[in-house]
Amino acid sequence: MKPLIVVSNDDGITSPGIATLIAAVKEIGDVFVLAPDSPNSGMGHAITVDKTLHTKKSHIHEGVEAYECSGTPADCVKLAKHHYLNGRKIDLVVSGINHGHNASLSVLYSGTMAAAREASIEGIPAIGFSIDDFSYDTDFSHTIPWIQKICKAALKNGIPKHNALNVNFPKKSDETIKGIKVVRQTDGFWKEEFDARKDPHGRQYFWMGGEFINHEPESTDTDIWCIENNYVAIVPCHYDMTNYEGVKELSAWEF
């Protein structure tokens, strides 16, 4: 029996990235798709609690059962498991392929990785895929064999319990991808800048921009270094955000 693979994303069910991901995993297992009906980039792990969720069958992707959802990426995974596939064993959840990398601190803001994390909370092996290319006409073709290789390895070996894999691809270039590296999250942050403007009524509004600051550009064991040097970066991520060294340090405090 083929493994059951659930596909979601945060760029929406019509995005080219999810079409590439579906094409890649259709060759591995039986595919079920449940993705947002509109872009949810930067949504993080938000869930819908103050309004109703709506879904409808989608015919965009041929050869698979697919639905679009008014909710967030995390909502989509919840609905897939507890409603549409209730009672069926899900072997793998994959999310993406995201336009733009989700390396370093971006993993916290990413709806792509939220879908994968939500699956990991449920004890389901999960992988989020992203590419270091923000253009709408991104060429995803070079990612397909690597997606298949990573998914097959995950199905064969398993993923550490309650972990999700954050996979980032370099942008397509004339150079062949050098290989896969399992690395850590880069120490960096986004330095925001706010462009203040006024609408025709004189009311102020803002566009948020900025730049990514890498504190360790020379470190070769990080996700940013990998994608900048034409490697596929895999970072195992878990939702337990406890700083265990911090627990030991704070235990010595006098309260």
In a domain, residue 235? The reply is: yes
Annotated binding-site ranges: 10-11, 41, 98
State residue 43's pLDDT score: 87
8 Å CB contact between 93 and 126: yes
8 Å CB contact between 81 and 201: no
State residue 1's pLDDT score: 86
Digit-coded pLDDT (tens) for 21-45 = 999 999 999 999 999 999 898 889 9
Distance from C-alpha of 145 to C-alpha of 139, rounded to nearest angstrom: 14
Digit-coded pLDDT (tens) for 175-213 = 999 999 999 999 998 899 999 999 999 999 999 998 999
Average pLDDT, the chain: 96
| Mean predicted confidence (pLDDT) in 218-238 | 97
In a domain, residue 91? The reply is: yes
User: Position of tokens 């991520």?
Assistant: 237
In a domain, residue 155? The reply is: yes
Q: How many domains does the chain have?
A: 1
| Mean predicted confidence (pLDDT) in 5-9 | 98
In a domain, residue 110? The reply is: yes
Domain enclosing residue 181, as ranges:
4-185+216-251
Distance from C-alpha of 148 to C-alpha of 10, rounded to nearest angstrom: 20
In a domain, residue 78? The reply is: yes
Tokens of 237: 């991520």
State residue 79's pLDDT score: 97
State residue 135's pLDDT score: 87
| Mean predicted confidence (pLDDT) in 45-70 | 96
pLDDT range class, residue 93, cuts 50, 70, 90: very high
pTM: 0.95
In a domain, residue 80? The reply is: yes
Residues 6+ apart with CB under 8 A from 238: 120, 160, 162, 163, 164
pLDDT range class, residue 87, cuts 50, 70, 90: confident
State residue 143's pLDDT score: 98
pLDDT at 48 over 90: yes
Digit-coded pLDDT (tens) for 229-245 = 999 999 999 999 999 99
In a domain, residue 202? The reply is: no
Q: Which residues pair with 93 in a beta bridge?
A: 6, 126
| Mean predicted confidence (pLDDT) in 164-173 | 97
In a domain, residue 193? The reply is: no
Annotated binding-site ranges for a divalent metal cation: 10-11, 41, 98
